[in-house]
Structure 1
Amino acid sequence: MSATQLRVSRSVEAPARRIFDLLSDPSRHTEIDGSGMLRGVAGGTGPMTGVGDEFFMDMHQDALGDYRMANKIVAFERDRLIGWQPRMDRAPESAPEMGGHGPRGQTYTYELSENGDGTTTVTQVYDWSAVTAPEIVARMPRVSEAQLLDTLDRLAAAVGG
């Protein structure tokens, strides 16, 4: 861990292809969400196919209420790497000043490495090193290491490993 990044890993009993298929399909993200913030995909977004694709998630936090995040794919290597950068798409009523802001500099990335024995090491990296707004930096990280580990446990269960 660094001052601006959390990194967690776990071995999952599944091929990288199956794990990547789940991660690239936003409609399945609520199955693996260890943060408890995701409420569902907004709109009819299908699986992501490359850098530049975007999907929208309905979210909720007790301190903020309901809001929507737009997530732009910033890393994409089939069966090996997928990552996205979220930005506020629709601000919660409790914080209208947050609406319309562009990317804040956070990224969520999953690195997949097959181990040759039917398992894949999945590493989730939550990075906020590019966040520059002082009011946002003061609230980082937005998720904990325990929540990231819970996400990996849920991912393992969702792919059957």
Structure 2
Amino acid sequence: MTDQISVTRSVPASPQQLFELLSNPARHQEIDGADMLRGIDGSEILTGVGDEFVMNMHNGALGDYQMKNTVTAFEPGRLIGWAPSLHPMDGYRDKLGEVRAEGHSYTWHLEPDGSGTRVTQVYDWSEVTDDDFRGFFPMLSEQQLGDSIEKAGNAATS
């Protein structure tokens, strides 16, 4: 079994428009294909690898929770990615016990494609070391990742 899902779609937005959208975490709720994102803490634009942002999340199992994301890939107009981890890491022991919710990532590859962009989103959990957390994967489907790409294409041009 593979430890990642990769989805590719072509959208009418330019790579620059998409990168601008993806590097602005305050707009990520517009592209959430899983309907778990409830907003972010702060409004900083991402400027490079190592930047962090905290997302307010919700799902049926945890209720409201937060994920801290660290930028892992950053090439303007070409590539952006981040690795989420539960925030604070030990803040949900009442629901998750000692589970270390970290080691997965989302990376967006942007390639010019005529007047639009060929977008590949890679959802990777190969770096998850906690066996209990690994049992949750994949948390998102190909359909949800594809929906995120489509939403990004629409949001970047509106």
TM-score of the aligned structures, taking structure 1 as reference length: 0.90
8 Å Cα contact 1:88-1:98 kept in structure 2: no
Computed over aligned residues only, the root mean square deviation of the Cα atoms, in angstroms, reads: 1.8
1:63: Cα distance to partner? Answer: 1.1
1:131 aligned partner:
128
Q: Which residue of 1 aligns with 2:3?
A: 4
Runs of 4 or more off by more than 2 Å in structure 1? 90-94, 96-99
Q: TM-score, normalised by structure 2?
A: 0.92
Unaligned runs of 5+ in 2: none
Match of 2:142 among 131, 142, 145: 145
2:95 maps to 95
**1:9-29 superposed Cα distances (whole Å, 9 cap, x missing partner):** 111112100100000000000
**Structure 1 unmatched runs, 5+:** none
Distance in 2, matches of 1:135 and 1:93, equals 13
Tell me how far apart the structure 1 counterparts of residues 146 and 120 of structure 2 sit (CA, whole Å): 10
Secondary structure, aligned partner of 1:95: helix
Quickly say closer, same or farther: Cα 1:46–1:63, change in 2 above 3 A: same
Correspondence 1:18 to 2:20: no
> Equivalents in 2 of 1:139, 1:89: separation in Å?
17
Give the CA deviation at 1:94: 5.3
Structure 2 residue corresponding to 1:121, chosen from 106, 118, 123: 118
- Secondary structure of the 1:154 match is helix
CA positional deviation for 1:119:
1.0
Asked if the contact 2:13/2:154 (under 8 Å) is kept, the reply is no
**Sequence identity, in percent?**
45
Partner of 2:37: 38
